[in-house]
Amino acid sequence: MAGYSEGSGRPNQWLRNLNAKIASVPMILTAVVIFLGGTIWTVVYSFTNSKLLPRLSFVGLDQYERLWDAPRWLVSVQNLAIYGIFSLIFSLVIGFVLAALMDQKIRFENTFRTIMLYPFALSFIVTGLVWQWLLNPEFGIQSVVRSLGWESFTFDPLYNSDIVIYGILIAALWQGTGLVMCLMLAGLRGIDEDIWKAARVDGIPMWKTYLFVVIPMMRGVFITTLVIIASGIVKVYDLVVAQTSGGPGIASEVPAKYVYDYMFQAQNLGQGFAASTMMLITVAIIIVPWAYLEFGGGRKRV
């Protein structure tokens, strides 16, 4: 903030700042019409029985009841929960451990970082297709291990309904942990060097310093990373489309795909709106407490 507010009370403010207002028209339109208006529109229409075209004939909570009765939606939610919990845990733990290793004043830090982060530059489509190939049971990792002599080795997550979501998880972690590592590394670099000296003088082992001193100090970084990962998880779509197209059967469906399929393919808009409203609620549950912690009460976060 530039702290340039002393002029805001002047009477000729409206004309003097006309250019700034004109420059802000796209932002105002986007914020009000698309973000606010569009969201309200979708929520309102989720209470209607719109099929091919949006129609304003309200049916109460019908769409939601149908949604929570649909096996495909239940599978989607369950998948999202499994995928979400594991990708949160794994990416935070792996990201932090890698960052801690990178923070040991090592050589070739840039090389290692470049290697760990490059998957993040790739799209989910590319990521999904590569891992589809690697996990291909006929040619991929499974067949290679079998050809080495371990004939009964089985690793075909993409063709097994019970574990297909973990196959997607593997690809997602490959793509995303580099970013978490970078954010964590930035956080570690922000820790005062004296903390380490003090811990060493007191003879505290390194892992204890990390666990009880450094991690609590990095609370802000962890929360921000958590929010970033979590809001990405809810949106997961391309990866599933590329890797499994929701299969086998409906075993790897996710909510975002449910929304797209009902809106643009099954032409059942009401279901799509209801499902997307559920996604909105999920994000709100994640974001609101964070926003409250971060900005709530007007005090700075510690």
Partner 1 sequence: MSDIVAFNSVAEEAAPKAQVDRVVAGPRGRKPRRALSSRNIVIYGTLIVVALYYLLPLYVMVMTSLKGMPEIRLGNIFAPPLEITFEPWVKAWASACTGLNCDGLSRGFWNSVRITVPSTIVSIAIASVNGYALANWRFKGAELFFTILIVGAFIPYQVMIYPIVIVLREMGIYGTLTGLIIVHTIFGMPILTLLFRNYFAGLPEELFKAARVDGAGFWTIYFKIMLPMSLPIFVVAMILQVTGIWNDFLFGVVFTRPEYYPMTVQLNNIVNSVQGVKEYNVNMAATILTGAVPLFVYFVSGRLFVRGIAAGAVKG
Q: Which residues from 166-205 bind partner 1, rule CB under 8 A? A: 174, 178-179, 182-183, 186
Find where tokens 């912690």 sit. 293
With contact defined as beta carbons under 8 Å apart, do 79 and 254 qualify? Answer: yes
End-to-end CA distance of the chain: 19
Torsional sign, CA 214, 217, 221, 225? positive
Of the candidate residues 92, 241, 293, 294, the single one contacting partner 1 (CB under 8 A): 241
Of the candidate residues 81, 190, 208, 245, the single one contacting partner 1 (CB under 8 A): 245
Q: Which is nearer to partner 1, 39 or 154 (CB)?
A: 39
Q: Which is nearer to partner 1, 72 or 113 (CB)?
A: 113
Site for partner 1 in 38-57 (CB under 8 A): 38-39, 41-42, 45, 54
Q: How many CB atoms lie within 10 A of CB 204?
A: 14
Q: Residue-wise over 33-69: b if at least 16 C-beta within 10 A, else e?
A: eeeeeeeeebeebbbbbbeeeeeeeeeeeebbebbee
Of the candidate residues 61, 68, 114, 208, the single one contacting partner 1 (CB under 8 A): 114
Q: Which is nearer to partner 1, 165 or 257 (CB)?
A: 257
Q: How far apart are CA 142 and CA 152, in angstroms?
A: 10
Least Å distance between CB 138 and partner 1?
Answer: 9
Q: How far apart are CA 282 and CA 285, in angstroms?
A: 5
- Residues counted in the chain: 302
The number of angstroms, rounded, from the C-alpha of 191 to the middle of its chain's C-alpha atoms is 26
Site for partner 1 in 135-164 (CB under 8 A): 136, 139-141, 143-144, 147
Of the candidate residues 82, 88, 134, 217, the single one contacting partner 1 (CB under 8 A): 134
Q: Which is nearer to partner 1, 30 or 154 (CB)?
A: 30
Q: How far apart are CA 245 and CA 266, in angstroms?
A: 16
With contact defined as beta carbons under 8 Å apart, do 54 and 45 qualify? Answer: yes
Least Å distance between CB 85 and partner 1?
Answer: 17
- Which listed range, 68-76, 82-90, 154-162, 257-265, lies at the site for partner 1 (CB under 8 A)? 257-265
Per rule CB under 8 A, is residue 276 in the interface with partner 1?
yes
Per rule CB under 8 A, is residue 207 in the interface with partner 1?
no
Binding pattern to partner 1, positions 88-107, x when CB under 8 A? ----------x--xx-xxxx
Find where tokens 């075993």 sit. 251
Q: Which is nearer to partner 1, 121 or 201 (CB)?
A: 121
Per rule CB under 8 A, is residue 260 in the interface with partner 1?
yes
Q: How far apart are CA 38 and CA 171, in angstroms?
A: 32
Of the candidate residues 26, 71, 216, 297, the single one contacting partner 1 (CB under 8 A): 26
